[in-house]
Amino acid sequence: MHEFSLATSLLDLVRANCPDNEVLESITIEAGPMRGIEPQAMQWAWEAATNDTDLHGVKFELIQQPWTLHCPNCQTTFEADDMFTDCDCGCSRTSPVDCDNLRLVRLTVKDHANELV
C-alpha cells in the first residue's frame, strides 16, 4: 500500500503550493506506469489521508501516463499500452524511458468570479 505513503506526502506538498487566500477544490497528479499506482487504491488513500484535516473534501484526479518506449535500432520514441511492445521497425529490444514520473501538476481553486454574483 505505497499509495497511502504517497497520499500523506501529497498533503504537505499541496499545503506548500496552495496560496493562503484560496479555497482548494481539487488536485491533479501525473503518474508513470513504472510507479505501479492502482487508481482505486490511490483514491481511497487520498480520502483516508485527508479525513479530519483541512483538506477534507478536496477532490483527487490521477492522470496515468502510457508506457514511453525507446527503440535502439531506429532511435524513435513512442507510446504504448504494454511495456513489451515491439517497434514498428521490427526491433524487439525497446526499453522504457521516463516512465517513473510522479508529479503534482495542478491545483484547482474556487473561482473568485462566482463569489461576486
Q: Which residues contact other proteins by CB under 8 A?
A: 1-2, 5-6, 9-10, 12-13, 17-19, 22, 29, 34-36, 72, 83-84, 92-96, 99-100, 102-112
Backbone angles phi, psi at 13, to 5 degrees: -65, -40
Gyration radius of the chain over CA positions: 18
Nearer of residues 56 and 110 to other proteins, judged by Cβ: 110
Q: Residue 31 Cβ, how far from other proteins at the closest point, in Å?
A: 8
Q: Residue 50 Cβ, how far from other proteins at the closest point, in Å?
A: 15
Nearer of residues 74 and 109 to other proteins, judged by Cβ: 109
What beta strand segments (E) does 6-109 contain?
Answer: 24-31, 59-64, 67-70, 77-80, 95-96, 102-109
Three cell numbers, residue 109: 481553486
Q: Residue 56 Cβ, how far from other proteins at the closest point, in Å?
A: 20
Rounded distance between C-alpha atoms, residue 101 and residue 29, angstroms: 10
- CA 35, 33, 67, 100: dihedral to nearest 10 degrees? -20
Nearer of residues 77 and 92 to other proteins, judged by Cβ: 92
Q: Residue 25 Cβ, how far from other proteins at the closest point, in Å?
A: 9
